Homo-oligomer: A and B are copies of this chain.
Amino acid sequence: MKSYRKELWFEVPRRRELINITPQVKQCLAQSGITEGLLLCNAMHITASVFINDDETGLHQDFEVWLEGLAPEKPYSRYQHNGFEDNADAHLKRTIMGREVVVAVTEGKLDLGPWEQIFYGEFDGKRRKRVLVKIIGE
């Protein structure tokens, strides 16, 4: 069994942003030399997400509005967590979007459907944060 590990670093200048990281994840897979296996890609921070969806601007605006509806950022006093922090909403938003994806590796490629793209979802940006890519297989 082979295994491969890489951290991807991000510093998003805004509080929230969705970034297509499929190219970086493909690079990791190529570097790993693994052709059959499973790839785990997860946010290492609890106010960020890794998820799979469509790379379509309108949809990303819909996600922003929808998540703000389900877990509003303000008023900060709305959340117990916000005594010393102001990011409780980011913990909740990331819960909806998910921490991680597991992707099949087949014949050396990410085994994704036609529109599947991997995203980093930042919900509490303006600081350096990490995503982990771990691949096991042969």
Contact = CB atoms under 8 A, between A and B. Distances in A.
Interface stretch (A9-17, A19-27, A34-42): A34-42
A58 B61 CA distance: 30
Given A46-B115, A102-B102, A37 B3 contact: yes
B99 A52 contact: yes
- Copies of this chain, complex-wide, total 3
A44 B103 CA distance: 10
A30 interface: no
Contacts of A43: 113
Contacts of A134: 38, 104, 106, 111
Interface string A78-90: 0111110000100
23 contacts: A1-B1, A5-B106, A38-B40, A38-B136, A43-B113, A44-B113, A45-B115, A46-B52, A46-B113, A46-B115, A46-B116, A52-B99, A53-B91, A54-B81, A58-B79, A59-B91, A62-B88, A63-B95, A96-B96, A98-B98, A100-B101, A102-B102, A136-B137
Closest 7 A/B residue pairs (Cβ): A44-B113, A58-B80, A104-B134, A59-B81, A58-B81, A3-B36, A61-B80
Given A45-B114, A58-B82, A96-B96, 12 more contacts: A1-B37, A1-B138, A37-B136, A42-B104, A51-B95, A51-B99, A59-B80, A62-B92, A63-B95, A66-B92, A104-B134, A106-B134
